[in-house]
Amino acid sequence: MLKDYRILAVLAFLGFVLFALSLKKSAEKDYIGYQKEYYSLLGEEDFSVEIKQVNVKTPGSIMVDRCQTCHIGASNPDAVNYPGPLAAHPPIVPGVEKDPHDFNKMGCAVCHDGNGRALEMHDAHGEYHGWPKPMLLGKTSQANCFRCHAQEGGELAGAEHFEWGRELYLEKACWGCHAIDGVSNAKQAPELTNAGGKHTYDYLHESVIYPKANDENSKMPKFDWVEDKEMVSAIATYLKGQQVMKLRSADAAPIGYVKPASIENRIGMASVEAGRALFAGVSYEGSTSRGGCINCHAWRNDDGDISGGHIGPELTWTIRNRGRAWVKDHIVNSRMHAPDSIMPSFKQYNEAELESLVMYLSTFNYAPNLAETESL
pLDDT in tens, 90-114: 988 888 878 888 999 899 999 999 9
pLDDT category of residue 24 using cuts at 50, 70 and 90: very low
pLDDT at 1 over 90: no
| CA-closest candidate to residue 169, choices 156, 187, 184, 188 | 184
Q: How many helices (H) and strands (E) does the chain have?
A: 14, 4
Q: What's the burial of 102, exposed, middle or buried (CB within 10 Å: 0-12/13-18/19+)?
A: exposed
**What is the total residue count of the chain?**
376
Q: What are phi and psi of 64, to 5 degrees?
A: -90, 125
pLDDT of residue 203: 96
What letters, b where the CB count within 10 A reaches 16 and e where it falls short, cover 304-321? eeeebbebbeebbbbbee
pLDDT category of residue 256 using cuts at 50, 70 and 90: very low
Q: What's the burial of 287, exposed, middle or buried (CB within 10 Å: 0-12/13-18/19+)?
A: middle
Q: What are phi and psi of 330, to 5 degrees?
A: -70, -35
pLDDT of residue 46: 92
Class of domain 272-375: mainly alpha
| CA-closest candidate to residue 255, choices 144, 148, 141 | 148
pLDDT category of residue 6 using cuts at 50, 70 and 90: low
| Residues 129-139: tens digit of each pLDDT | 888 999 999 99
pLDDT of residue 328: 95
Side-chain-facing half-sphere of 80: CA atoms under 13 Å: 4
pLDDT at 155 over 90: no
Rounded distance between C-alpha atoms, residue 43 and residue 38, angstroms: 9
65 forms beta bridges with 54
Average pLDDT, the chain: 87
pTM: 0.82
Query: Do the Cβ atoms of 128 and 122 come closer than 8 Å?
Result: yes
| CA-closest candidate to residue 75, choices 103, 94, 44 | 103
More confident residue, 4 or 73: 73
pLDDT at 327 over 50: yes
CATH of domain 140-252: 1.10.760.10
pLDDT of residue 286: 85
In the chain, ranges of CATH 1.10.760.10 domains: 140-252, 272-375
Q: What are phi and psi of 320, to 5 degrees?
A: -65, -35
**Which of 46-60, 100-114, 244-258, 296-310 is predicted with the least confidence, judged by mean pLDDT?**
244-258
pLDDT at 303 over 60: yes
Average pLDDT for residues 138-167, to the nearest whole number? Answer: 86
Query: Do the Cβ atoms of 364 and 293 come closer than 8 Å?
Result: no
pLDDT of residue 257: 47
pLDDT of residue 299: 93
Average pLDDT for residues 231-240, to the nearest whole number? Answer: 97
Rounded distance between C-alpha atoms, residue 49 and residue 26, angstroms: 16
Average pLDDT for residues 282-310, to the nearest whole number? Answer: 91
**Which of 8-12, 189-193, 351-355, 358-362 is predicted with the least confidence, judged by mean pLDDT?**
8-12
More confident residue, 142 or 13: 142
pLDDT of residue 156: 82
Average pLDDT for residues 134-159, to the nearest whole number? Answer: 85
Rounded distance between C-alpha atoms, residue 34 and residue 36, angstroms: 6
**Which of 143-147, 197-201, 232-236 is predicted with the least confidence, judged by mean pLDDT?**
143-147
